[in-house]
A and B are shown apart, each in its own frame.
Chain A
Amino acid sequence: MIVEGTHTFHVSAEQLWNYLMDPEVLAKITPGVSQLELVGEDQYKTVSKIKIGPVKGAFTGKLHVIDKDQPHSFAIQMEQLSKIGNAHARVDMAIKTIDAQNASLEFNGKANLSGLIARTGQRVLSGVANVIIKEVFSSLEEHIEEQNIT
């Protein structure tokens, strides 16, 4: 399963980087995530609930932020386990400066699914995953705007 896309934020690349590295921000904006617990440097334990059509499940797993090159790029490596199947994913993130107040985030990743989620509805999951990621970034954008107002 491939996820890819770009989103533009009205902050500098450095500021965007800082938002993305803040676990509280991440937990707040990621759909389904009920728990994002820092367990080591750049390592998190996650608990999330996902429902896609008839398939729903509670995932527990690990999330690592790796290959950090502040403020240009990093990658997220995830392992999510559940009774309905497991997901192993790596998503590469590239932050590009547009100007002093604007930066874009390009994401590009691949998830290997197994179990029930692999064989039921996988053909629509790629689209769903991209929607979920877009939601994450829209939430982040809203969060940034709120911060800027206050």
Chain B
Amino acid sequence: MTNYIGKSVKRVEDKRFITGQGKYTDDIKLNGMMYGYFVRSPYAHAIVKSINIDRASKMPGVNKILVGADIPEAIAGVPCGWQVDFKNGDTMKEPPHPLLVRKKVRHVGDGVAFVVAETRAQAKDAADEVDVDYEILDAVTCPKKATEEGAAQVHEDAPGNLCFDWELGNPKDEVAAAMAAAAHVTELDFSNQRVVPNAIEPRSAIGHYDTAYDKYTLYTSTQNPHLIRLLMCAFVLGIPEHKVRVIGPDVGGGFGSKIFHYAEEALVTWASKELGCPIKWTADRSESFLTDAHGRDHVSNAKMGFDSEGKIVALQAYTYANLGAYLSTFAPAVPTYLHGTLMQGLYTTPKINVDVKAAFTHTCAVDAYRGAGRPEATYLLERLIDLAALEMDMDPAELRFKNFIPAFDGVEQEGYTTQVALQYDSGNYDPVLKRALEMVGYEEFRKEQAAQSNGKLLGIGFSTYIEACGIAPSAVVGALGARAGLFEVAQVRVQPTGKVSVFTGAHSHGQGHETTFAQIVADRMGIGIDDVEIIHGDSDSVAFGMGTYGSRSLAVGGSAIVNSIDKVLEKGAKIAAHLLEASADDLEYAEGKWTVKGTDKSVSFGDVSLTAYVPHNYPEGLEPGLDFNAFYDPANFTYPFGAHVAIVEVDKETGEVKLKRFIAVDDVGNVINPMIVDGQIHGGLAQGIGQAMHEGTVYDETGQLINGSYMDYCMPRADDLPSFEIDRTVTPCPHNPLGVKGAGEAGCIGSTPAVVNAVIDALWKGGFKVKDVPMPMTPERVWTAMNN
């Protein structure tokens, strides 16, 4: 009965996307709608001495100009959804994040006033005339410097700019003892630089208060409409949830940055009632650079100890994580429970300690960005092990094979319990690296590398990664500080004619859910894929949902759909049994019909559906209808893994790096739509390679973002990338009904260190014993590393 699963069914949503018929928030126009534009701070840290709106208020079309003082004190600001406390038990510092600042701005782009006018252009013109008098103060942008004495303070109630100081794993003295006994210790100081998410669709929100129904509607470019409704109603505006509808229509990319509840969403919702009209705000590109929560930004020191055979004996990691000026929704979880917990990697390291200090700085908030914490952990581990191989003169692939955790399927063999609070579900790590080496032609490559003599340095870099995704078991994340559950919801509504509407709490913003989920439903129900419609993104049609992030949609949301289908088929069997005058136990369901085993007596899914809604001849005591939902809370995270290999050529004279080949062998468990998984891998690779080679957010010492445009911030382009060589192994997830693990973040997690490792290998083999080239590896940085 598998007609669709495992096939590269073309994406049904692409027709509207590629013909320009997608419907994004900014495409929505409501009667009487006004347009908002923000006056944002040009300074990173300043006291707002006065705001004069007199001239601006008289500008054409202006309806209202709101400043911080106009917002009731009761609206404290947007909340944080995750609490991570100090290791001594002190509570995390959680300063308020107001919708518009009242006294002080804390980063360039902080909202100071909101101008509402009849057109966007009028609002923008009037915003230019709002006169704000600032007293400029010193700023701090580096998370490490922020914690030093004498650093400018971001919040009065977070002394030393520390949000929390956290650790995980074995006690430090045990790790130190193992490190002291090691035959070789590799140590590295490095940064994992800040990147801007750069979704192609800027954030946008429309607030609409409908007086007739006393009901609010918020249209917003989000990855999780229900979560926004919950956070905004319960923690910001204090309006009852049943009086608020949140719609996340088509969304043009999120990469994590559209998970979070932003001040703009609450402001347009609240202001639409105050002003008595719908209000639309859409960020311009400059605002996106300044205010979409950024990613990464760690400053780290790490040590990995090895015995004389090359077995890892200890890992100690110290990280300063930049949180920016305010706590974004998931921010505390990213450098801790999504980062520290991954320090086991694929290795049997017996002693691990990870120490994280999270600091406020005068910069845009930092939160989850594709991979969220796991790319940073992978970067740390994989840079260390490749560098150790060079230092110990061992083969980096061999060194990994020596340290891999042995295979376990999570069924016959138990899951693998790490030193850092996780239990891996299933894993078989040798084959991914073996397959990657085969694809590379490893021995041949090493010969070619040794023979290279044309002023170019060839290098190869490895990265073998694991990620914890499919987030997550509610009880587990609750124990780790999450303030919400992380289950997912689905509803399968069979229509009387046997057509199926599926409502999912997951949200598609590029992932292709309308296709992948439909494949599952069509297969499991034995019906045509055209008979299935996937509905998402509207809190009034979908019962509930936690949304899409952490590579969770298929593993958690897809499993919820499967459980709903099981309920539908179970009830359907009772109706079929009645129609066939047989016992339900004697029926089997295949290809869209119930058949009495061993006979040719059968009844179709369509007939059963019709009977459920026209119950004239119907089982006694059974309710009419065929419509079930399921709340699926997974038993564990899922743990995709893989091996990525980069081959680069470095120009000895200029330091220019050319990425010649990129090989990725990923294991994401079972695959529903190979084409979509390939697409996810490709996109992730481009993003991860972009961080290694091109991207990097630069704040100057006064806190100005100095590369806040596409002229200044380098995004990877097609001609920067080789044609990717990808393959997969399949180790099913043992604890969800689809056996799937998640593919959205894998490419972005594994690729970055592979590229940097390849450059280090090239330099090292060329006689330059360079330990690190800071990302992005511009020719200037590579040249400097070679010539210092």
Contact = CB atoms under 8 A, between A and B. Distances in A.
11 contacts: A112-B702, A115-B42, A116-B286, A118-B704, A118-B705, A118-B708, A119-B706, A120-B711, A121-B711, A121-B712, A123-B707
Contacts of B128: 83
B709 A119 contact: yes
Contact of A120 (B136, B700, B702, B712): B712
Given A114-B42, A114-B108, A119 B704 contact: yes
The contact size tier of chain A is 10 to 19
Nearest to A114: B42
Contacts of B702: 112, 114
A119 B136 contact: no
A81 to B, nearest CB: 10
Contact of B706 (A54, A86, A88, A118): A118
B289 interface: yes
A131 to B, nearest CB: 19
A54 B286 CA distance: 14
A85 interface: yes
B662 interface: no
Contacts of A88: 136
Interface in B95-127: 108
Binding site of B, secondary structure by majority: helix, strand, loop or mixed? loop
A18 B58 CA distance: 46
Interface residues of B, number: 18
Interface in A105-145: 112-116, 118-123
Given A114-B108, A116-B286, A118-B705, A85 B712 contact: no
Given A83-B128, A88-B136, A119 B289 contact: yes
A53 B709 CA distance: 14
B43 interface: yes
Interface in A63-92: 83, 85-86, 88
Interface in B649-692: none
A12 B616 CA distance: 112
Given A119-B712, A121-B712, 5 more contacts: A83-B128, A112-B704, A118-B704, A118-B706, A122-B704
A85 to B, nearest CB: 6
Given A85-B42, A119-B286, A113 B712 contact: no
B346 to A, nearest CB: 40
A120 B704 contact: no
A71 B707 CA distance: 41
B47 to A, nearest CB: 15
Contacts of B711: 54, 120-121
B708 A86 contact: no
A111 B290 CA distance: 21
A119 B705 contact: yes
Interface in B1-49: 42-43
- Interface-central residue, B286, B702, B706, by most chain A CB under 10 Å: B706
A114 B43 contact: yes
B707 A119 contact: yes
A86 B704 CA distance: 11
B42 to A, nearest CB: 4
A123 B290 CA distance: 17
A83 B39 CA distance: 11
Nearest to A86: B42
A120 B708 CA distance: 6
A101 to B, nearest CB: 42
A83 B704 CA distance: 16
Interface in B684-743: 700, 702, 704-709, 711-712
Interface string B73-109: 0000000000000000000000000000000000010
Q: Which 5 A-B pairs have the closest CB atoms?
A: A119-B708, A114-B42, A118-B704, A115-B42, A122-B706
A114 B704 contact: yes
B704 A113 contact: yes
Given A112-B702, A114-B108, A120 B709 contact: yes
Contacts of B707: 119, 122-123
Nearest to B707: A119
B121 to A, nearest CB: 14
Contacts of A54: 711
A84 to B, nearest CB: 10
A139 to B, nearest CB: 30
Nearest to A112: B702
Contacts of B43: 114
Interface string A2-41: 0000000000000000000000000000000000000000
Nearest to B129: A83
Contacts of B286: 116, 119-120
A121 B708 CA distance: 9
- Interface-central residue, B42, B705, B707, B708, by most chain A CB under 10 Å: B42
B387 to A, nearest CB: 31
A123 B706 contact: yes
Contacts of A119: 108, 286, 289-290, 704-709, 712
Contacts of A113: 704
Interface string B132-153: 0000100000000000000000
A114 B44 CA distance: 9
A112 B136 CA distance: 11
A54 B712 CA distance: 12
Contacts of A86: 42
Contacts of B712: 119-123
A86 B43 CA distance: 9
Contacts of A85: 42
A116 B705 CA distance: 9
Nearest to A113: B704
- Interface-central residue, A112, A116, A118, by most chain B CB under 10 Å: A118
A18 B286 CA distance: 45
A26 B108 CA distance: 34
Nearest to A54: B711
A144 B43 CA distance: 40
B396 to A, nearest CB: 36
A42 B707 CA distance: 36
A116 B40 CA distance: 11
A121 B711 CA distance: 7
B435 to A, nearest CB: 43
A121 B704 CA distance: 12
A43 to B, nearest CB: 19
Contacts of A122: 700, 704, 706-707, 712
A119 B128 CA distance: 17
Nearest to B713: A119
Contacts of B290: 119
Contacts of A121: 709, 711-712
A107 B705 CA distance: 27
Nearest to A82: B128
A13 B193 CA distance: 49
- Interface-central residue, A86, A115, A123, by most chain B CB under 10 Å: A115
